[in-house]
Structure 1
């Protein structure tokens, strides 16, 4: 993302994006943990593992500037995913509380960026995308924040152009979105999800 006044401090967007994910996680009944999601690599349980590990990774980046990928949590009870994600978010919030960290470079597998760029293009995009995945898996139980999807669609198209698919990029080919589709549907299609 480019630096704009609205995104110079992306932490309010991070807060909105992860709060949406947290609400969806709280809505997951234990009997749905084995259900598929639109992300072919994950059933619901695996997606929750990915979200918790990702929040810990983002916290580690705020703490140290680098990350060694967290292993998916192995000891979370079926009814404990909300607590596990909440604990990861508390660590994430604390790790990025210092304003100076927004300027500090962090290194991830797709490059080295100021912390603010990582939060906006990494954490927000990941959270918004997987909120859609989880919402789809649960049958759209909660409304999604359309503004968030609109804010990350352009950066997703810049950072993940159609020709950069396969190999190390974990997204399938761009799919068509129906005419008049909302921002989430267009984002999901851009990231290779089947939205028809």
Structure 2
């Protein structure tokens, strides 16, 4: 990823990937643990869709500390609709090309909009991997999305920048034949 990359189309592809995973989640699976240790499936869905609303809010010009829980609980069968609303808001918030260049406040500082979007893209791809591991192990995730998210993570989150206050564990080894999204998960301390 370079300073001119427009991640909006890939973000929408990542949201499509998440939507397919969510469509397959059964109510019985909502309490399953995920590789993101602090979340079961239900909490992971709330966090991930909430992250999409937060990304939309900052795309609209808001500050990330202005919002807390953006989704909360949803009915067991409502997650596809909840995601649909977040996706529509996200697309509208980032539709203007100027949003990519505007200084944007995010939890990790103030960065150009495209870098902020990169962080939320990485999060979306990573949490899709978390969800797939919990409810559909063996699911093949989009390799291009994984490659781009991994490149962003390696650039934005060097291995030596882990520890207190950083929500990612130490880099873990990934199998030599791991797909890009599994390598991303390992880079972020999972797998």
TM bin (shorter chain):
over 0.9
Aligned to 2:101: 103
Cα separation, 2, equivalents of 1:72 and 1:64? 16
- The SS at the match of 1:181 is coil
Give the CA RMSD over aligned residues.
1.5
- Aligned positions of 1:28-39 closer than 5 A: 28-39=25-36
Task: Structure 2: give runs of 5+ residues left out of the alignment.
Answer: none
Task: Name the TM-score, length of structure 1 as normaliser.
Answer: 0.91
Cα separation, 1, equivalents of 2:106 and 2:153? 16
User: Is the 2:53–2:70 contact (alpha carbons within 8 Å) kept by the matching residues of 1?
Assistant: no
User: Cα–Cα, structure 1 residues 83 and 141, in superposed 2: closer, same or farther, change >3 Å?
Assistant: farther
Match of 2:177 among 180, 190, 193: 180
Task: Name the TM-score, length of structure 2 as normaliser.
Answer: 0.93
For residue 65 of structure 1, report the CA deviation from its aligned partner: 4.3
Match of 1:94 among 89, 92, 95: 92
- The SS at the match of 1:41 is coil
Aligned length: 190
- Aligned positions of 1:31-180 closer than 5 A: 31-67=28-64, 68-119=66-117, 121-140=118-137, 142-180=139-177
Cα separation, 2, equivalents of 1:20 and 1:156? 19
